[in-house]
Structure 1
């Protein structure tokens, strides 16, 4: 029996999955190959690299469809200017817990699990917040609390583990806003006592509502970055905002202070509980959950 596992086609979440599986499934070389190939293709798409080979020639060079244990790639229309064709991950078969596991690339693994196309998969925790968690007066503060906010009538998907590839949704403010605001640290409590504009990415509106809590948003007006402008610059104009940070260096360059890390933007292992009754699938799930992941969720 082959167990299919939905994974992202590109980006940090896919790299996190490959990094974690590399040691656990003995696939260090092929994981490095996929990561380096996709980074190179991203650089070509962004105009940072050039290649004399056309996109179809490169695709043929990368893929070996006749060998399921070699990575396969496919083409995706990128949303950058000019809509370039981009090479992304398609599939790879590995042995895990004495089971043949096929990683299958999907644009939206979480939604594929929601539609019962897969029993197991990986995706960003952000998508779970943006689509299915309930908005409540109290803030959602951790990966461990995600399942408590999912309505069982809405979806059978639950979060199993976080992979620890953490980038944080962080509260940012200018010193002027900080001084005009409530006399408290730059935390959720600061937002609860603040009235005015809060700059966020429009695709994270529901996420921000969940991690701040609806009570804290009284008197808050969401504003959004101008197209083509750095988010940190727009937050500096608004005075207060929420954005993804790693070191915060770009935020500081725009004169922003870093406040509370509101929620981890992290890749998570998910299961569709309606589809995981098979013993083989459960064995794969347990192996993935035990692969030195940083967080275990039991709710």
Structure 2
């Protein structure tokens, strides 16, 4: 086998499934992607207690999954879960995918997907040339805070200082959910939309997740935040319930059903949260460029359109 290009990917969850869907489609390995996804969903259900484990403990299951003779079969590892009791959870570790049968692939090359807790940071430290991670982490880490709001993933690269990092966003994967403005009927304007224009005149608490503070500052723009006081949910409390107490907040929504259950009204979708393909431009080679082109393409229904 020739050159192997390592690609940093999330270890679990929706972002990893989005990456596996993309890999399955572009590299022609649907069975491999389905195998990894089904294994991790099964392990998540065991960790949550949704299904009963068999007689094998987590260590025996890990050995069953990862003791393989095939060097291209997936490997897994153990991670402490955040749930009560901090149970050990089986998550993705790595898999090598030869590109011999992929049209237009570099001769005798392969890609190796490598699980990382925060792939974006692994690219920032030059461990990888390519990786996938949430666009949120890019905003939380490196985008410049400006008075003007940021409302498109396509504009993220323009706010990354090249002196701060060599990492750039290449494209999104289309697994979009939104950071959405939510308000109680008492706080919501009676004749106006719950949007950025409303926030121009609003003064008071705005409930957010602490880790999204810098993201919210970038998305709303620092000028708009005058008179707004950030509040944070108490540990272990549902975010929507905390927003209902504060009267106004920002949180990720898919259907908005949980927000409505807490009496909240859905306002403007402020910013798309999407898994993105990232590149460290200082680490690119001809083979890396070729692999990136295999993973990129116009077939994605994504919020990101670099250069538009």
Place the TM-score, normalised by the shorter chain, in its bin: over 0.9
Equivalent residue, structure 1, for 2:173? 163
Equivalent residue, structure 2, for 1:193? 201
Equivalent residue, structure 2, for 1:146? 156
Compute the TM-score of the two structures, normalised by the length of structure 1. Answer: 0.95
Question: Does 2:251 align with 1:243?
Answer: yes
Equivalent residue, structure 2, for 1:44? 46
Matches within 5 A, 1:89-238: 89-96=92-99, 97-98=105-106, 99-179=109-189, 184-238=192-246
User: Equivalents in 1 of 2:307, 2:297: separation in Å?
Assistant: 13
SS class of match (1:37): helix
Taking only aligned residues, the RMSD between alpha carbons, in angstroms, comes to 1.4
SS class of match (1:179): coil
Given that residues 24 and 291 in structure 1 are in contact (C-alpha distance below 8 angstroms), is that contact kept between their aligned partners in structure 2? no
Name which of 272, 282, 306 aligns with 1:297: 306
User: Equivalents in 2 of 1:249, 1:283: separation in Å?
Assistant: 42
User: Equivalents in 2 of 1:193, 1:42: separation in Å?
Assistant: 44
Q: CA shift at 1:179, angstroms?
A: 3.3
Equivalent residue, structure 1, for 2:22? 20
SS class of match (2:215): helix
* Structure 1 gaps, min length 5: none
* Structure 2 gaps, min length 5: 100-104
Name which of 62, 66, 69 aligns with 1:66: 69
User: Equivalents in 2 of 1:46, 1:249: separation in Å?
Assistant: 22
Name which of 228, 253, 265 aligns with 1:257: 265
Q: CA shift at 1:292, angstroms?
A: 2.6
Q: 1:201-249: CA deviations, max 9, x gaps?
A: 1111111111011111100000011221111111011110000000001
Compute the TM-score of the two structures, normalised by the length of structure 2. Answer: 0.93
Aligned length: 296
User: Equivalents in 2 of 1:29, 1:64: separation in Å?
Assistant: 19
Q: CA shift at 1:65, angstroms?
A: 4.5
User: Equivalents in 2 of 1:298, 1:119: separation in Å?
Assistant: 21
Equivalent residue, structure 1, for 2:289? 282
Given that residues 189 and 198 in structure 2 are in contact (C-alpha distance below 8 angstroms), is that contact kept between their aligned partners in structure 1? no
Q: CA shift at 1:67, angstroms?
A: 1.9
Q: CA shift at 1:49, angstroms?
A: 2.0
The alpha-carbon distance between structure 1 residues 14 and 142, as it changes in their structure 2 partners (threshold 3 A), is same
Q: CA shift at 1:25, angstroms?
A: 1.2
User: Equivalents in 2 of 1:298, 1:6: separation in Å?
Assistant: 25
SS class of match (2:61): helix
User: Equivalents in 2 of 1:95, 1:190: separation in Å?
Assistant: 53
